[in-house]
């Protein structure tokens, strides 16, 4: 695609990225076939190719307004289009650039402005979010059904493993996950402990920055990235093997630190090192598969009769391109996996999307739950806290992180 980017962006790192991405697109439209919002609205501008045109026009200096905002807001950032694109168009990076420019150009109504500000300021601050969420859990039985569904029932996280192994990984705690489902990282620590790996969480690290980036606040996302790098750096220099994440949505953001901080001379190289070390928990566990199989072998396969279904988050399958690994690990642990139709489609959670676009988010959730529960699983396993909470809001089937199921299986085997 020919481009003539406007002066305001042409010679910036973001402009160069956008130019390269736009030039790769050959307008073929293959991506529209797998785009959830195109399937829903049937409008070219609610598909990736249409959004690419809208962003291109904006970056070339055309006037933009509510129409561009509407169609970019409706994008889930699910990256299904990237999996389909034969030309390797890095759509999500282009969208981040487009949203950041759009946020400076087009104002929003008061309700949208307040909602976005609340999300940006409340969710990434655990000292604000955690007490509010805990209060919601405490009064959950009294909440009206619509609100009750938004709050996960409290589950005891159990003890964090304290084994002192020479092999160490840093774990990203994240912003909302420790309050919503603290058991995910404690379960991870226990599984790693059995595999001879110590998991460390570094207190000063926090939100990965994805939330603020996807809300169009690139500078705040850069601050999040710099704070995390500073917090992790001593452990990295001391020999941590990996920076592990249990929320795949956060993982895609850690990989994107490379783009985010490329023009920051103090952090560009460090960001590249962090991205190199970043690993989804399934990659870390998968690398220890032989040990895992030995741990499981010879014990009663109590999980074998338990049918579970795996919901692969978009960030895992389209963002990180990790496909089939979690299912294989669950199979190793003796779970029977039920099939899921249209597994490539988003569940509608998509970070803050389900709050900002509730009608679309709910429709996609209900479609996804129909597909997931068709095989009558006893539990739905997933790999991202946002998907977990969003899916749980629409079903009585327990929705768990897959590492919790593996931890329980290993506990039963011990
Ligand atoms: S990221 Fe998802 S919703 Fe957005 S254009 Fe691509 S496929 Fe469609
Ligand atoms: S599939 Fe790729 S090259 Fe084709 S229109 Fe979509 S983004 Fe462009």
Q: Is 28 in the pocket of ligand 2 (CB under 6 A)?
A: yes
**pLDDT of amino acid 44:** 97
Distance 74 CA to ligand 1 centre (A): 9
Q: From atom 5 of ligand 1, which residue's Cα is the shortest distance away?
A: 48
Residue 48: CB within 6 Å of ligand 2? yes
Rounded to the nearest angstrom, the distance between the alpha carbon of 49 and the centre of ligand 2 is 6
Tell me if 132 CB under 6 Å of ligand 2: no
| pLDDT of the residue at 48 | 98
Ligand 1 site-directed mutation target among 41, 54, 79, most atoms within 8 Å of CB? 79
Q: Check pocket membership of 197 for ligand 2, CB cut-off 6 A.
A: no
244 CA to centre of ligand 2 in angstroms: 32
Backbone angles phi, psi at 38, to 5 degrees: -65, -40
pLDDT at 413: 59
DSSP state of 159: P
Centre of ligand 1 from the C-alpha of residue 331, in Å: 30
Neighbours of 351 (CB within 10 A): 21
Q: Ligand 1 site: residues with CB under 6 angstroms?
A: 35-37, 48, 51, 75-81, 91
C-alpha to C-alpha distance for 124 and 128, rounded to whole angstroms: 9
Comparing CA positions, the residue from 323, 304, 307 lying closest to residue 315 is: 323
Residue with tokens 């919503």: 180
Ligand 2 atom 8, closest CA? 25
**Residue bearing the CA closest to ligand 2, atom 4:** 28
Burial 65-82 (b: 16+ CB within 10 A, else e): eeebbebbbbbbbbbbbb
Query: Furthest-apart CA pair in the chain: how many Å?
Result: 67
Structure tokens at 335: 């779970």
Q: What is the pLDDT along the chain (414 residues), one digit of tens a residue?
A: 899 999 999 999 999 999 999 999 999 999 999 999 999 999 999 999 999 999 999 999 999 999 999 999 999 999 999 999 999 999 999 999 999 999 999 999 999 999 999 999 999 898 999 999 999 999 998 888 878 888 999 999 999 998 899 999 999 999 999 999 999 999 999 999 999 999 999 989 999 999 998 888 889 999 999 999 999 999 999 999 999 999 999 999 999 999 999 999 999 999 999 999 999 999 999 999 999 999 988 666 554 568 999 999 999 999 999 999 999 999 999 999 999 999 999 999 998 899 999 999 999 999 999 999 999 999 999 999 999 999 999 999 999 999 999 999 998 755
Task: Check: CB of residue 275 under 8 Å from CB of residue 242.
Answer: no
The total of other beta-carbon atoms located within 10 Å of residue 144's CB is 7
Task: Supply 132's token pair.
Answer: 């509010």
- 30 pocket-lining for ligand 2 (C-beta < 6 Å): yes
Angle between helix axes 126-138 and 110-122 (nearest 10 degrees) is 100
**pLDDT of 214:** 86
Place of tokens 């699983």: 377
Encoded tokens for 184: 């995910």
Please indicate whether residue 89, judged by its CB atom, sits closer than 6 Å to ligand 2: yes
Whether ligand 2 lies within 6 angstroms of the CB of 204 is answered as: no
């Amino acid at each position: 695609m020919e481009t003539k980017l406007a002066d305001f962006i042409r010679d910036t790192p973001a402009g160069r990225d956008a130019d390269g991405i736009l030039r790769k697109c050959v307008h073929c439209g293959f991506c529209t076939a797998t785009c959830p919002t195109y399937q829903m609205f049937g409008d070219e501008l609610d598909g990736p190719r249409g959004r690419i045109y809208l962003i291109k026009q904006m970056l070339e200096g055309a006037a933009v307004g509510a129409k561009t905002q509407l169609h970019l807001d409706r994008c889930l950032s699910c990256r299904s289009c990237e999996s389909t694109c034969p030309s390797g168009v890095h759509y999500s990076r282009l969208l981040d650039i487009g949203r950041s420019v759009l946020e400076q150009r087009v104002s929003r109504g008061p309700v949208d402005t307040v909602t976005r500000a609340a999300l940006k300021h409340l969710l990434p601050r655990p000292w604000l979010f955690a007490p509010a969420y805990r209060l919601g859990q405490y009064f959950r039985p009294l909440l009206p059904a619509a609100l009750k569904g938004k709050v996960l029932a409290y589950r005891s996280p159990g003890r964090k493993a304290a084994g002192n192994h020479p092999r160490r990984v840093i774990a990203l705690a994240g912003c909302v996950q420790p309050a919503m489902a603290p058991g995910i990282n404690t379960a991870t620590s226990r599984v790693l402990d059995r595999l001879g790996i110590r998991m460390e969480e570094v207190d000063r690290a926090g939100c990965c920055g994805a939330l603020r980036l996807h809300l169009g606040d690139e500078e705040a996302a850069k601050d999040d990235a710099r704070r995390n790098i500073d917090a992790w750096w001593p452990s990295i220099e001391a020999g941590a093997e990996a920076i592990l994440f249990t929320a795949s949505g956060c993982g895609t953001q850690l990989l994107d630190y490379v783009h985010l901080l490329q023009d920051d001379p103090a952090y560009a190289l460090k960001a590249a090192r962090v991205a190199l070390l970043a690993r989804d928990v399934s990659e870390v566990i998968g690398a220890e598969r032989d040990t895992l199989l030995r741990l499981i072998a010879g014990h009663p396969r109590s999980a074998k009769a338990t049918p579970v279904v795996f919901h692969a988050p978009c960030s895992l399958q389209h963002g990180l391109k990790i496909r089939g690994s979690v299912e294989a690990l669950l199979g190793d642990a003796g779970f029977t996996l039920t099939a899921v139709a249209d597994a490539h489609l988003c569940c509608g959670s998509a970070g803050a999307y389900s709050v900002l676009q509730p009608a679309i988010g709910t429709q996609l959730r209900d479609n996804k739950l129909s597909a997931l529960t068709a095989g009558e699983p006893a539990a739905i396993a997933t790999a991202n806290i946002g998907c977990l909470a969003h899916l749980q809001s629409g079903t009585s089937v327990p929705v768990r992180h897959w590492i919790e199921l593996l931890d329980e299986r290993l506990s039963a085997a011990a």
